[in-house]
């Protein structure tokens, strides 16, 4: 059961084009999010399909496995089995920083209000909230902190390189 | 000390607002107990036996008098008039009401303090040497690096949901007083052959159920790369540390599973592939932070200070001077320990009135600052020799000049069963038993340097594995029993103690320690500490004596 889908720029996506497809389900005509296993098994067919395709990575799926495929992927969805899961943050950071990925990075699964600020800073741009999450509170939480010590997706330089100027 | 600018202030102010909102949502039923738990923990808030326990960060143990007065005020206003200083240089309050914690944080923020990341699976408060900046054996002051790490680790977007807690210590001295080798990362300031400054990097130390001594993964890390390298270590850990079993989730388990060399190679490879050098530290940033830790305005005439002969010959003063004060790199100054281990006092506890007094004394005699030590005492770092007698009088009048620093009764202890919901053992009770049995100061001095560490359970908050003598509380069918270990150390010669034998009942703990000491006094050679004798002769003579006599007594 999924809830509101936010863009980290601070808005709710009213029409979400992406459909997450189970491994044994038929593919829709439009954009499809498939598992890493299905992607690797059906790579050529999925590319040939002519509609946007994205991959869902579980925390145990290394981004290195799909790094070479990134030009074909319009979305990488990183799955949170629980709100305390930390590996997707590193995955997002690597996708952006190491592999220069400019497509959509989406958080799915147990995505709660109190994670959204970290998610935004780590390079996620779309957050599919758990269904029970309060949307205005989640939007507000994107702006919890206005000062950041570390570099992040929203700010390439650490504070110590900006203090003098700001 | 480091003073916040408006950016730092805004971070803690926004944190107060965030936690106030999280607490409100929890109390309104919008956050479940399970969902609130990690949020409150990363703010140092535990639910304990009697009430919540709040751990407030004292970054690398450094406090201003004004901050200490605020800690006293919080103890009075929100708690029961006292606080407990911890081995990681923090303070814990045992009785705050959950709904008032946001107000406590707001009060702390007014003096540039917080409880950020004092618990939870994140990078914890960075600890350091209580003698930083003043010790004659120091290569460089570690505090600027601690502050740089504090800022970098505060709400780190990538490393806020680690597999488990993560502790970093930085030492700049030849003699390690930070227990660096039992931290997840221990950083020791060193110089390379060219005289450049850097760090020796230890990884994978830690106590708890699977105690381990850290291993060196890099002999020399240039100081500019402090943060880029920490990021590489943390990323390796965040991605690969075990998350399926809380008892196997610390970085030490990963390091052991991969082996030191493979782990070090993985870190080096990750580091080499970093996508940005934005976190490399420019010299002017290191200098900017270091300027906050510039030495105070020592009086040049202090070098000519002499102690008043009338006072110097007072045996009580002489004992205090010998035990509780330390040499200072500036002539005419001493560092003064304030023992929080006097008889009858729960180790590490101080009342609000005592905190106020110490704040006053710090202002009068030590440039308005003080430190919290790893051994759960307080320290006035910069006291003029000429001021020692009057300072001593002031401390002595309030039970703060007990001359036992570095001795058996200057023990490390967790709060134990009296407060902690995890504990099996009443550490405070046993501490009292030991304090009253070993009251003879001359006997304690004759024993020399001795570290007694006591934990109420195997989580090892009292660092029992690395005490010269370690005591661990265990539960036997609802009764408190105590396992004794000997031969541990958290200093440069770090080692884990060995278990002496079967655990002993509570009322025999002090007696058993007495027997261990008896063996030591018989077997020691010239200049040997208890630890040295242990290492030389092994555990057997101690074991034989303790258990033979216990059996004879039974």
Length of chain A: 166
CB B530 within 8 A of CB B447: yes
- Comparing B330 with B548, the larger pLDDT belongs to B330
pLDDT for the residue numbered B313: 87
Q: Average pLDDT of chain B? A: 95
**Residue B24 clears pLDDT 90, i.e. is over it:** yes
| Of residues B39, B152, B275, nearest to A149 (C-beta) | B152
Per-residue pLDDT reduced to its tens digit, B352-374: 999 999 999 999 999 999 999 99
Residue A165: the pLDDT is 67
Return the percentage of chain A with pLDDT > 90, whole number: 95
Confidence of residue B311 (pLDDT cuts 50, 70, 90): confident
The tens digit of pLDDT for each residue in B82-96 reads 999 999 999 999 989
Q: How far apart are CA B377 and CA A77, in angstroms?
A: 50
Pick from B156, B161, B246 the residue to mutate for testing the A interface (most A CBs within 10 Å). B161
Size of interface A-B (CB pairs under 8 A): 105
Burial of B434 (0-12, 13-18, 19+ CB in 10 A): buried
A1 has a pLDDT exceeding 60? no
Predicted pLDDT at A34: 98
pLDDT tens profile B393-441 = 999 999 999 999 999 999 998 877 777 777 777 778 898 899 999 999 9
pLDDT score for A126: 98
Distance from CA of B157 to the nearest CA of A (A): 5
> Mean pLDDT across the stretch B212-235?
98
- Return the pLDDT at A166: 59
**Cross-strand partners of B47:** B52
Percent of chain B with pLDDT over 70: 98
Q: How confident is the model at residue B553 (pLDDT cuts 50, 70, 90)?
A: low
B36 shares contact with chain A (CB less than 8 Å)? no
Query: What is the model's pLDDT at position B375?
Result: 94
Residue of B nearest to A92 (CA): B158
Q: Does B119 touch chain A (CB under 8 A)?
A: no
| Best B158, B165, B267, B281 residue to mutate vs chain A (most A CBs within 10 Å) | B158
For residues B277 and B152, what is the distance between their CA atoms, to the nearest angstrom?
14
Residue B552 has pLDDT above 60, yes or no: yes
Which residues in chain A have their CB less than 8 angstroms from residue B5's CB? 163
Residue from the list B7, B30, B163 with its beta carbon closest to the beta carbon of A159: B7
Residues A13-54: pLDDT tens digits? 999 999 999 999 999 999 999 999 999 999 999 999 999 999
Give A84's contacts in chain B (Cβ within 8 Å).
Answer: 38, 121, 161
Instruction: Supply the mean pLDDT for chain A.
Output: 95
pLDDT at B554: 61
Neighbouring residues of A142: CB distance < 8 A, sequence distance ≥ 6: A6, A8, A10, A116, A117, A120
**CB distance from A81 to chain B under 8 Å?**
no
pLDDT of residue B427: 79
User: So what's the pLDDT on residue A71?
Assistant: 97
B12-21 as b/e, with b when 16 or more CB fall inside 10 Å? bbbbbebbeb
**Hey, are the CB atoms on A160 and B281 less than 8 Å from each other?**
yes
pLDDT band at B234 (very low <50, low <70, confident <90, very high): very high
Query: What distance in Å separates the CA atoms of residue B212 and residue B220, rounded to the nearest whole number?
Result: 22
pLDDT surpasses 80 at B174:
yes
**C-alpha of A109 from chain center:** 11
DSSP lists the bridge partners of residue B383 as B334
The model's pLDDT over B102-153, given as tens digits with 9 standing for 90+, comes to 999 999 999 999 999 999 999 999 999 999 999 999 999 999 999 999 999 9
Q: Give ipTM to 2 decimals.
A: 0.97
Residue B542 has pLDDT above 90, yes or no: yes
Contact A149 B38 (CB under 8 A): no
Burial class (CB in 10 A: 0-12, 13-18, 19+), A71: exposed
Query: Residues 141..160 of B with a Cβ closer than 8 Å to A: which?
Result: 148, 151-152, 154-160
Helix (H) or strand (E) holding A139: helix A135-141
Q: Do B18 and A144 touch (CB under 8 A)?
A: yes
Query: Is pLDDT at A66 greater than 90 in this prediction?
Result: yes
CA distance B230 to B529: 36
């Amino acid at each position: 059961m999924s809830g509101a889908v936010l863009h980290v720029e601070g808005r709710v996506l009213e029409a979400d084009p992406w459909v997450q497809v189970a491994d044994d389900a038929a593919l829709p005509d439009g954009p499809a999010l498939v598992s890493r296993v299905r992607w690797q098994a059906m790579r050529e067919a999925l590319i040939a399909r002519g509609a946007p395709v994205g991959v869902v990575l579980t925390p145990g799926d290394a981004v290195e496995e799909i790094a070479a495929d990134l030009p074909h992927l319009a979305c990488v969805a990183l799955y949170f089995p629980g709100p305390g899961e930390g590996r997707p943050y590193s995955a997002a950071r690597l996708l952006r920083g190491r592999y220069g990925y400019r497509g959509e990075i989406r958080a799915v699964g147990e995505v709660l209000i109190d994670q959204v600020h970290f998610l935004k800073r780590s390079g996620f741009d779309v957050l599919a909230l758990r269904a029970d999450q309060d949307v205005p509170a989640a939007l507000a939480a994107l702006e919890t902190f206005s000062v950041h010590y570390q570099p992040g997706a929203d700010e390439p330089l650490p504070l110590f390189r900006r203090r003098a100027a700001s | 000390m480091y003073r916040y600018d408006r950016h730092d202030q805004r971070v803690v102010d926004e944190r107060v607002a965030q936690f106030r909102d999280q607490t409100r949502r929890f109390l309104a039923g919008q956050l479940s107990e399970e969902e609130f738990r990690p949020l409150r923990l990363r703010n140092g808030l535990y639910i304990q036996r009697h009430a919540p326990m709040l751990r407030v960060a004292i970054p690398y143990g450094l406090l201003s008098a004004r901050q200490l007065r605020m800690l006293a005020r919080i103890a009075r206003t929100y708690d029961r008039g006292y606080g407990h200083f911890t081995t990681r240089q923090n303070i814990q309050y045992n009785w705050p009401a959950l709904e008032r914690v946001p107000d406590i944080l707001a009060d702390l923020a007014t003096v540039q303090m917080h409880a950020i990341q004092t618990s939870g699976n994140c990078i914890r408060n960075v600890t350091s040497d209580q003698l930083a900046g003043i010790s004659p054996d120091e290569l460089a002051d570690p505090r600027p690096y601690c502050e740089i790490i504090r800022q970098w680790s505060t709400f780190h977007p990538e490393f806020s949901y680690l597999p488990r807690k993560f502790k970093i210590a930085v030492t700049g001295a030849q003699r390690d007083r930070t227990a660096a080798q039992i931290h997840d990362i221990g950083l020791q300031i060193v110089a390379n052959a060219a005289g450049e400054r850097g760090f020796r990097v230890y990884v994978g130390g830690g106590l708890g159920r699977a105690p381990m001594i850290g291993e060196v993964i890099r002999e020399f890390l240039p100081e500019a790369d402090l943060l880029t390298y920490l990021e590489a270590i943390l990323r390796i850990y965040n991605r690969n540390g075990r998350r399926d079993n809380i008892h196997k989730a610390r970085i030490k388990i990963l390091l052991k599973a991969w082996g030191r060399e493979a782990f070090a190679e993985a870190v080096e490879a990750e580091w080499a592939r970093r996508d940005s050098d934005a976190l490399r530290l420019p010299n002017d940033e290191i200098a900017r932070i270091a300027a906050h830790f510039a030495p105070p305005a020592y009086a040049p005439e202090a070098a000519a200070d002499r102690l008043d002969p009338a006072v110097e010959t007072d045996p009580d003063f002489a004992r205090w001077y010998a035990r509780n004060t330390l040499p200072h790199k500036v002539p005419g100054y001493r560092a003064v320990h304030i023992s929080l281990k006097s008889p009858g006092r729960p180790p590490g506890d101080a009342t609000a009135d005592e905190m106020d007094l110490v704040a006053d004394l710090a202002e009068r005699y030590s440039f308005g600052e003080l430190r919290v030590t790893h051994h759960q005492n307080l320290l006035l770092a910069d006291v003029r020799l000429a001021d020692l007698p009057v300072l001593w009088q002031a401390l002595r009048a309030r039970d703060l000049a007990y001359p036992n620093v570095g001795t058996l009764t200057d023990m490390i202890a967790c709060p134990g069963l009296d407060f902690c919901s995890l504990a099996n053992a009443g550490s405070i009770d046993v501490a009292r038993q030991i304090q009253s049995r070993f009251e003879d100061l001359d006997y304690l001095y004759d024993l020399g340097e001795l570290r007694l560490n006591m934990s109420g359970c195997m989580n090892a908050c009292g660092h029992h594995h690395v005490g010269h003598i370690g005591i661990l509380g265990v539960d036997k069918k609802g009764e408190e029993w105590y396992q004794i270990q000997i031969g541990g150390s958290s200093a440069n010669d770090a080692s884990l103690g060995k278990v002496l034998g079967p655990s002993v009942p509570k009322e025999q703990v002090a007696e058993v320690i007495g027997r261990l000491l008896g063996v030591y006094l018989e077997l020691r050679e010239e200049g040997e500490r208890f630890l040295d004798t242990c290492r030389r002769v092994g555990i057997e003579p101690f074991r034989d004596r303790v258990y033979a006599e216990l059996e004879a007594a039974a």
